[in-house]
A and B are shown apart, each in its own frame.
Chain A
């Protein structure tokens, strides 16, 4: 079955317009659908089960943090793939930082289990309905979420870094804390 971006967009807009908040072609040629957090599971289920779409494969699930977008700080991006027509679809949702809860996609795809654990580990997104939400890559007793923008990149325990060698203007021989 041939499913190019125009057919895909028309199909989604015609069959499920209630899920479409914004649909556009991204820079890399992948159709990107933005929808609401409240409808995300229904939307993903429709994309998976519909006969004309058949996006059976959840390729990746990742999180983005835009601290400057008020009310839409965190975003989750789902990348879906259709093996029969080799088509990709990207689904995005955005939600505020003071309510980082998202329904878990584990019921639809078991691969979402570890992907959601990773997003909890690095951004602190709580996936409601996840069977075992705990840290996956960092040490278990880490109390911060490292990939959020407010968390600095460098390790906090170093005291011997000199600003001159890193192109930073500031104090020389300063304690890095």
Chain B
């Protein structure tokens, strides 16, 4: 529970904490599953390692309705602009998790065709290394995203540091 003052039938806390709590437990992810890590994600969504208990029951394949972009798998250089476009189409506040070695840094594919990490095109919040990471690792990454969401200040997306980050990636 966030810091606050409570009593019989009420609890007083700051708005950002209350909103953060609501957002963290009902994230709508966009599974950008490209290769093997996508299969591990399917296992994570299955009954054994259920991601739905974290509030991610509803997956959205439309970026307009998603909060969290989960990039799972190898991204080719030809796919980079597509991924960037999907990220731009998401509405604020949005978070990005890079699942697997290929999304984090290109993985074992250091070649002419593979993008060496999606942070070359979009800003990433959490990296989950592994090839592929076990569902427990992916859940650990999701829990770290939840921590980020819970503690995000309400005006963060208007701050100069965030504007600088968006300019660095040439995202208007």
Chain A positions near chain B (C-beta within 8 angstroms): 137-139, 142, 144, 146, 151, 153-155, 157-158, 161
Contact = CB atoms under 8 A, between A and B. Distances in A.
A146 B110 contact: no
B113 A153 contact: no
B112 interface: yes
Nearest to A147: B112
Contacts of B78: 137-139
Interface of A is mostly: loop
B110 A158 contact: yes
Interface in B92-111: 106, 110-111
Interface of B: 77-78, 106, 110-114, 116
A154 B77 contact: no
Contacts of A151: 112
Contacts of A161: 110
A139 B112 CA distance: 10
A154 B113 contact: no
B105 to A, nearest CB: 9
Contacts of A144: 112
Nearest to A161: B110
Q: Which 6 A-B pairs have the closest CB atoms?
A: A146-B112, A154-B110, A139-B78, A155-B110, A139-B77, A155-B116
Nearest to B109: A155
